[in-house]
């Protein structure tokens, strides 16, 4: 079974899976004995909470490898630009964010209404630097790990800034994702 870039996200109370399939590369230049590199991927969306709904296909392609690099607003624009695929592609929710990973943490809600958790990850190697994970509970692609100076860094941040420090981390992580807008001719 082939592997596809995969993303699970929530919009208006429904969970969706997005996968890239295929790809395209049109070229007339260069050595024709060498297959052209795939430059763009087609994005397919399946609603996980409504099993009767057909898959949607985005009306425009995205650059190869970008599915998990684009921000939440961009994935929503791609979904909204979609058209009915005519049937349903089953997609497994293999990476749905799990709020149970941080049961003692109250999620942070950002200005876009997305829920986030900030948690210290356990170290599996002696002498390794501690790591903080900032993860969105509404979009599986939106997560980053931050290497800390020492074990006290996150506790000191929380003691000095409270909730505002974690919110600042969330906003910083959000800025690491790319904005993507389909081309007007693709819509």
- Residues 50-104: pLDDT tens digits? 999 999 998 778 888 899 999 999 999 999 988 999 999 998 888 788 777 776 7
Based on the fold, state whether residues 112 and 82 are members of the same structural domain: no
DSSP 178: B
Record the tokens describing residue 163, joined without a space. Answer: 């909730």
Examine the domain organization and report whether 54 and 129 are in the same domain: no
Q: In the chain, where do the E strands start and end?
A: 6-11, 14-24, 40-47, 56-57, 62-63, 83-84, 108-109, 115-121, 131-136, 143-147
The residue among 76, 94, 112 that closes a domain is 94
Domain of 134 in residue numbering reads as 99-174
Q: Token pair 């695929």 is at which residue?
A: 85
Structure tokens at 44: 């397919």
The pLDDT tens digits for 133-158 are: 999 999 999 999 999 988 888 888 88
Q: Are residues 123 and 162 in the same domain?
A: yes
Q: Assess contact for 163 and 145: CB atoms under 8 A.
A: no
Label residue 19 by pLDDT band (50, 70, 90): very high
pLDDT at 29: 54
What is the predicted pLDDT for the residue at 65?
87
Token couple for 37? 């590199």
- Encode pLDDT of 105-129 as tens digits: 789 999 999 999 998 888 778 878 8
- Taking CB atoms within 8 Å and a gap of at least 24, the contacts of 126-133 are 130/154, 132/169
* Residues 93/99/101/102 CA torsion (nearest 10 deg): 170
Q: Same domain for 103 and 158?
A: yes
- 112 and 163 in a single domain? The answer is yes
Asked if residue 137 and residue 103 are part of one domain, the reply reads yes
* Tens digits of residue pLDDT in 30-61: 565 665 566 778 899 999 999 999 999 987 78
Q: What pLDDT is attached to residue 37?
A: 63
Q: What is the pLDDT of residue 36?
A: 58
Q: Residue 186: inside a domain, yes or no?
A: no
Query: What predicted TM-score, i.e. pTM, was given to this entire model?
Result: 0.83
């Amino acid at each position: 079974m082939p592997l596809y870039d995969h993303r699970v996200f929530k919009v208006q109370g429904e969970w969706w899976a997005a996968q890239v399939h295929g790809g395209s590369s049109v070229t007339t230049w260069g050595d024709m004995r060498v297959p052209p590199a795939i430059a763009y991927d087609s994005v397919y969306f399946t609603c996980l909470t409504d099993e009767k709904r057909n898959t949607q296909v985005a009306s425009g392609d995205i650059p190869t490898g970008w599915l998990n690099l684009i921000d939440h607003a961009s994935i929503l624009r791609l979904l909204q630009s979609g058209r009915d695929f005519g049937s349903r592609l089953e997609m497994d929710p293999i990476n749905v964010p799990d709020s149970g990973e941080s049961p003692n943490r109250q999620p942070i809600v950002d200005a876009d209404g997305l829920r986030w958790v900030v948690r210290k990850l356990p170290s599996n190697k002696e002498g390794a630097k501690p790591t903080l994970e900032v993860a969105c509970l509404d979009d599986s692609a939106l997560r980053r790990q931050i290497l800390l100076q020492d074990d006290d860094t996150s506790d000191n941040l929380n003691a000095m800034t409270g909730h505002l420090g974690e919110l600042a981390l969330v906003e910083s992580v959000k800025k690491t994702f790319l904005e993507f807008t389909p081309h007007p001719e693709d819509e």
